Structure 1
Amino acid sequence: MSDVLLNFVAGGVGGSCTVIVGHPFDTVKVRIQTMSRPKPGEKPLFTGALDCAKQTVAKEGFFALYKGMAAPLVGVSPLFAVFFGGCAVGKWLQQTDPDQEMTFMQNVNSGALAGVFTTVVMVPGERVKCLLQVQQAGNSPSGVHYNGPLDVVKKLYKEGGIRSIYRGTGATLLRDIPASAAYLSVYEYLKKKFSGEGSQRTLSPGATLLAGGLAGMANWSVCIPADVLKSRLQTAPEGKYPDGIRGVFREVIREEGPRALFKGFAPVMLRAFPANAACFFGLELTLSLFRLLGLGHGAKKAEEK
């Protein structure tokens, strides 16, 4: 089980890389997903991802794209640590021998299991992040002004206790179980393809970035509709959706149609490649360092050879 701990630590490094590279794209995505539908004759608040980024920088400055980053940086690093640790647990549960190569479906199972593990860590950070991201020039759809992540947590707890902080748990599970399954399985599949045949498989930095970026795109191509519903649920005023994600879904379909479920698709895909390329690069770099230090099963195998 030492590999679980090493993957946990390496995942934390990868998660930090993901947040730093991808947060501006995420801010644009959330603002597009949560903007209100324009009234007849009115222009939409944003005409697209580029317009949203331009308006945000023009009105609030460049660093507005990094609003709410403290919450995911604190939450995402352990989140990715839990994810990759969970993947290692899934691998350990399915292997009969430590050297057994995982099949595509076994990686699907490991990713899905890790997606369940990450929800407990992810939901509060996602709730805080989304509320700060949609707060434009001091205004918020919920009508409440927040001065930062801690202020969000305090006000949410005062408003509805732990349940308010964890609003969107079901929606997050609906998003992350299939997305995590796709994420890990596609990365591992591409990793094998890019590293060549035979016992001396090596993955170049470029191949790692490519495999990680494509895995990120596979992850988001699966889960974008659930992410739209989650963002709306987590930024709505208290009590607006008493039946949770089902109420959000009915409202979106009734008022905006199925296309609204893919709002933010462009910034999501623009973010997915560089952010997840950075994630897996950080992960593999850290695991390589561990192997150089003689830690983990991979290092033991190298010594035996």
Structure 2
Amino acid sequence: MTHQVVDHENDYESLGANSSATQNALAGALAGIGEHCLMYPVDSIKTRMQVGQSVTTLVSTSSTGWLQAQQQLWRGVYSVVLGAGPAHALHFATYEFCKERFHQWIQQEESNWTRDENLQQILATGSAGACATLAHDVMMTPFDVIKQRMQLKDSVYRSVRECARAVYVKEGITAFYISLPTTLTMSIPFQSIQFATYERCLSLLNSDRHYDPKSHVIAGALAGMFASSVTTPLDVIKTLLQTRGSSTDLQIRHCRGFWDAAKLIYGRYGYHGFFRGFKPRILTHMPATAISWTVYEYFKWFLSRHS
């Protein structure tokens, strides 16, 4: 009896190695959907702020105005549901697979600089996060384009399908991927920083790696705050590129890539322009990352324990 109890308590410590790719993928899918859906209204506000649209219409004291504001805040959420599930499944499954392989490879190196355990952890998790991000963003970017088009104040699209069809007819397939280089430029450092920060914070808060929601929430929130702070300028550029086809501004519509968007933002707003939407981005990513990691760690523990 005693042996069984000890096994259950320590069951979580080696989940990265013991949980299957299917379990990691399913836990990641549930985490991604939960994260994006719960924080979607704040993300809608961030999108409008980054493209220079007013958010005052989202605040109303009348019951009719309040309902309309809620509808606007949630418009496009189905695009996230459709994309976040499979994209996050691939994301976390890739992360767990690469983390173990990179950690083993780094440990085999004979160099003095790779003998530090903390450095090994940072290198392995950061590199695994970069690989996972590449897989995630290739799948998720088209859904993100649709989402942000529907989040705009003057959006006329009533469904995800209608928006996708209209964008394809007017702008072609390139509209869904024009922001991909910028997205990867932002997401790879974001996720590398986030994963490395999360794992480091977790090792300090929960060194035994038992399932502990409190430590996952704190580590996730700190990781989200730090990573989103550093990468906000790239997110502003990405938003401009993904919504350019819906803009009435000719200069924005003619932006062909990263440098065109960066020059336009700097020319109009200076350095401050690269931090528009900074607060709602932080307010989105802190709880979103905390939710994502907590849900992921829970389902990974649950599925592994009951498999």
TM over 0.5: yes
CA-to-aligned-CA distance 1:230-261 (integer Å, 9 cap, x gap): 11111113882353121111111011111110
Distance (whole Å) between structure 2 residues aligned to residue 152 and residue 289 of structure 1: 38
1:67 is the counterpart of 2:75 = yes
Determine helix, strand or coil for the equivalent of 1:65. helix
1:161 is the counterpart of 2:172 = yes
Match of 1:302 in 2: none
2:181 aligned residue (159, 170, 193): 170
* Contact kept? 2:40, 2:77, Cα under 8 Å: yes
In the alignment, residue 159 of structure 2 is paired with which amino acid?
G
1:181 is the counterpart of 2:189 = no
TM-aligned CA deviation for residue 147 of structure 1: 2.0
* Contact kept? 2:191, 2:227, Cα under 8 Å: yes
2:234 aligned residue (211, 226, 230): 226
Match of 1:76 in 2: 84
RMSD (Å), alpha carbons: 2.4
1:90-169 equivalence runs, <5 A: 90-96=98-104, 103-134=121-152, 136=153, 139-140=154-155, 145-169=156-180
In the alignment, residue 130 of structure 1 is paired with which amino acid?
Q
- Between Structure 1 and Structure 2, the one with more helix by share is 2
CA-to-aligned-CA distance 1:101-160 (integer Å, 9 cap, x gap): 8511211111111111111112101100110001x2xx24xxxx3222111110111123
Distance (whole Å) between structure 2 residues aligned to residue 68 and residue 92 of structure 1: 36
CA-to-aligned-CA distance 1:184-231 (integer Å, 9 cap, x gap): 1111111111113xxx54242111111111111122112211110111
Determine helix, strand or coil for the equivalent of 1:237. helix
Match of 1:253 in 2: 266
Match of 2:9 in 1: none
How many residue pairs get matched? Answer: 271
Moved more, 75-84 or 179-188: 75-84
Structure-2 change in CA distance of 1:227 and 1:201 (3 Å): closer
**After the TM superposition, which segments of 4 or more aligned residues of structure 1 sit over 4 Å from their partners?**
55-59, 99-102
Structure 1, gaps ≥5 residues long: 37-44, 295-305
Distance (whole Å) between structure 2 residues aligned to residue 31 and residue 55 of structure 1: 17
Determine helix, strand or coil for the equivalent of 1:282. helix
Structure 2, gaps ≥5 residues long: 1-16, 109-116
Structure-2 change in CA distance of 1:13 and 1:107 (3 Å): same
Determine helix, strand or coil for the equivalent of 2:232. helix
* Contact kept? 1:127, 1:165, Cα under 8 Å: yes
Match of 2:290 in 1: 277
